[in-house]
Amino acid sequence: MRYTANMLQASTSKPAILFVCLGNICRSPMAEGALKSAAAKIGLDVIVDSVGTANYHIGQAPDPRAIAVARANGVDIGGVIGRQLTEMDFLDFTHIFALDTANMAGIKARAPRHGTARIALLLDAVEGREGKSVPDPYYGDSQEFEQCWKTIDEACHALARTLARDGVNARF
């Protein structure tokens, strides 16, 4: 489900998380699914979405390899539809997480002065991995997608625990 500004603004007491990679077909949809799953396991009420910085895959489903690895881990991301980062995302979400440093730079370059979202790397949620990127599996094989899933899932479980503890005030 994609969220509108009205839906997000009506729920300011709960975290609203946006994951960002380049095309919104591999890492960010996997992160969206992983966080939804991790949050459900601990009863965390959170809004989760994903986007890309580029417009390559707008309107498309995630890469079949990403769908397969998520499904193999009990998570369905087949309904995610690619979209591109917008200015409103900086107002509608409490936190925006880049999957790598290159997209982090793109996010910061697009951030409006009046944006309120906290911006960080996903791996900033994992102690000892702060400042690190999640490798892009797009040009790899199924093993690279599986390793990517493991990295993202670990980070999303850590993120869910932090959000459960600190809510919208979580800092990374």
Active site residues: 21, 27, 136
Longest Cα separation, the chain: 41
Say how many C-beta atoms besides its own lie within 10 A of residue 19's C-beta: 31
Provide CB contacts within 8 A for 59, sequence distance 6+.
81, 82, 83
Tokens of 24: 């919104």
Residues 88, 80, 39, 149, CA torsion sign = negative
